[in-house]
Amino acid sequence: MNEIINLPKFSPGKQGKEVLLELHVHGFFVFTNKTDERLAEPMKTENSFGKSRVRMNMNSDNLSSQLMLTNTSLSGSGYRGIGVLGFAGLQNLGNTCFMNSAVQCLVHTTQLVDYCLGDYEKDINHENSLGMNGELSLAFGELLRKLWAPGAMPVAPRMFKFKLAKFAPQFDGYKQHDSQEFLAFLLDGLHEDLNCVKCKPYIEAKDAEGRPDEEVADEHWLNHLARNASIIVDIFQGQYRSTLVCPVCKKVSVTFDPFMYLTLPLPSTTMRTMTLTVFSTDGIMLPMPFTITVPKGGRLKDLIDSLSLACSLKDDETLLVAEIYKNQIFRLLDGPSDSVALIRDDDKLVAYRLPKVSETCPLVVFSHQQLERPYGFGAMAPNWKLFGVPLIARIENLSSGSEIHYQFLKLLRPFLMPVEDVVNDYDGDETRNTVNENSKVEGIVSPLVSYCDAGPDSGEENDVHLNADFKFYLVDKPGSSEIKMNDPVPISSLTKNLDVTVHWSDKMIEKYDTCLLSSLPEVFKPLLFAKRHEESISLYKCLEGFLQEEPLGPDDMWYCPRCKKHQQAIKKLDLWRLPEILVIHLKRFSYSRFFKNKLETYVDFPIHDLNLSNYISHIDNQLSNCYQLYAVTNHYGRMGGGHYTAFIDHGHGRWYEFDDDRVFPISEDKIKSSAAYVLFYRRVREM
């Protein structure tokens, strides 16, 4: 569509006049009536080519919504190929939904439709070493024309995918990919293919040197346009101001850089529910699970602070968090700056309440083993099997085995069963909160409890019982490593941890409640059919997080020209120049060396009235800062898989879902969801 269409002017507040448009699209004539209160007259603007281009500001009724055949009804819950323009789906060639969803959003961008249905081949730059010799842009243009052909059936984008894989091998094959990463490559590739600058001039960047920001910004923008001139630059690129401040000498560096899209991080206030079991070491309280909430992007310190408050931790106590796997301590979580994102939902975590004593006192870890009875006949070697949750204690002045015996029995006291075997007619309360209610009945006292009450120096009268009931062994010690009551413990002042294995007799298995000792909940276990509370955050909050000051990371230091060394500068971004089409990428996926995660946070984004006037540093009275949503890329499911779809507005609030080759209507109230991933906005006139 290359002809200039003159539309009458409309006065503000008056209803738009109905105009009959005759559009020539891809060899077909289409007639449509148009009425829109917000329709602006054609704007004659100066673009990156240095010549005038007449650009129709279609606003809420984009071009694609006008290219429908008349008297066509849209019915049915889903359909493949209908007799209207712009409703053709894309066949899934095998995990290509990431590509299909992004392509549908682009081919329903008004300016690209206008451009690719015209004689765009003349703009192809075959000399650009950064381009694809025009192959990518030709494949995209041909795909767009097929999707806008009247009565088109679903299109198989095989040639387009072939060209894509040729120049971007990472998209070869049939693995699932990130739709936003594909979109970024495609826009950059189209720009380089269609860049009208044949020979890019070398332009040395100048320092601001106290000049006004407006002057420096225009200089940077003109330098950028001198090397980059394409339809992609015209409609998708904006400009932001980057300010760096040296924390030492306070040197300020201001630069202005172009952007193709905004990647907005989801704020770290996104919370995560976690359950941990707290074990006391005072010999009184039973283990108790606590459910807390911490930021998903938080640190271990946040988890410990929240858990300390939940379990009423005393000032003279501290928490030691550990992961339990196969009845052993798999790892200690003792790095305050470690990310809680490294903790999986199916992990089992415990927190030990320990007294704040000198860290020179060794940490004694007790692991439990019981004799596994073999099936069948014949003599077999004893098979000791781990069970239960390890217990932990710090022992001051540890020197002999009796101190280890005493401390272990003290830790076990809350797990004592009621002494019904001692008093046959005893009908006690089975809810055990303290030891005295469980183990002392009418003057009859358990020998083990008596020993615990008296302490490790109470004599030898209970030695026979203890040696028969429990046997203690030092782990990883050669030869006979049993710890006898009066034997010295082979440790030094450098010993930090002491691993002790305890062999339980059958009598002790019955005497203590080993079920309580073995029961651990997972960090998070979703209930079947339970609806989780959906967190909500405003798109404006995400934008504020993107624009706030933050220090550079240790791996991204800035070289300060005044200090003559790399410094961890403070960085601040500001929006300076907004594009005609604003693409917003919600950063749902996070990656680390060991972990991948997706944030399911519900982002409340405007559909009709995104106003960025309060977020742009440079005000241009000739341009509107208001935007209207016209397309969304959605991702459903987990990292590394899932499924992508697209929502497209065909004008007058008529939204459709493009799910590969299936296209069907969707109500506007369904557009916002926690699956929204990439948002496409077009500039509209301020109301």
What are the catalytic residues?
Answer: 97, 643
Rounded Cα gap, residues 236 and 587, in angstroms? 19
Between the CA of residue 452 and those of 64, 283, 396, 404, 442, what are the distances in Å?
82, 9, 17, 12, 19
Are 15 and 37 in contact, with CB atoms under 8 Å apart?
yes
Residue 674: name the closest of 638, 648, 644, 636 by CA: 636
Question: Which residues, 6 or more positions from 309, have their beta carbon under 8 angstroms from its beta carbon?
Answer: none
**Please, what sign has the CA dihedral across residues 46, 47, 48, 49?**
negative
Question: Which residues, 6 or more positions from 238, have their beta carbon under 8 angstroms from its beta carbon?
Answer: 258, 259, 575, 576, 577, 578, 579, 582
Both tokens assigned to 141: 């243009």
Helix (H, G, I), strand (E, B) or coil at 437: helix
Q: How does strand 581-587 pair with strand 262-265?
A: parallel
Rounded Cα gap, residues 163 and 143, in angstroms? 12
Give how far the C-alpha of residue 407 lies from the chain's centroid of Cα atoms, to the nearest Å. Answer: 44
Helix (H, G, I), strand (E, B) or coil at 48: coil
Rounded Cα gap, residues 146 and 117, in angstroms? 10
Are 21 and 31 in contact, with CB atoms under 8 Å apart?
yes
Q: At what angle do helices 97-107 and 135-147 cross, to 10 degrees?
A: 80
Are 8 and 42 in contact, with CB atoms under 8 Å apart?
no
Are 514 and 369 in contact, with CB atoms under 8 Å apart?
no
Q: What are the contacts of 610-613 at 24+ separation with CB within 8 A?
A: 610/539, 610/582, 610/681, 611/686, 612/543, 612/575, 612/578
Both tokens assigned to 137: 């842009």
Give how far the C-alpha of residue 612 lies from the chain's centroid of Cα atoms, to the nearest Å. Answer: 25
Rounded Cα gap, residues 148 and 443, in angstroms? 92
82 exposed, middle or buried (CB, 10 Å; 0-12, 13-18, 19+)?
A: buried
Are 191 and 228 in contact, with CB atoms under 8 Å apart?
yes
Nearest-10 Cα torsion for 91, 93, 97, 99? -100
Rounded Cα gap, residues 426 and 431, in angstroms? 15
First to last CA, the chain: 29
- Report the run of H or E that residue 440 belongs to, with start and end: strand 440-441
Question: Which residues, 6 or more positions from 661, have their beta carbon under 8 angstroms from its beta carbon?
Answer: 80, 89, 90, 91, 92, 154
Are 276 and 520 in contact, with CB atoms under 8 Å apart?
no
Rounded Cα gap, residues 211 and 661, in angstroms? 54
Helix (H, G, I), strand (E, B) or coil at 514: helix
- Report the run of H or E that residue 490 belongs to, with start and end: none
Q: What residue type is assigned to position 109 of the chain?
A: T
Between the CA of residue 612 and those of 110, 575, 609, what are the distances in Å?
22, 9, 9
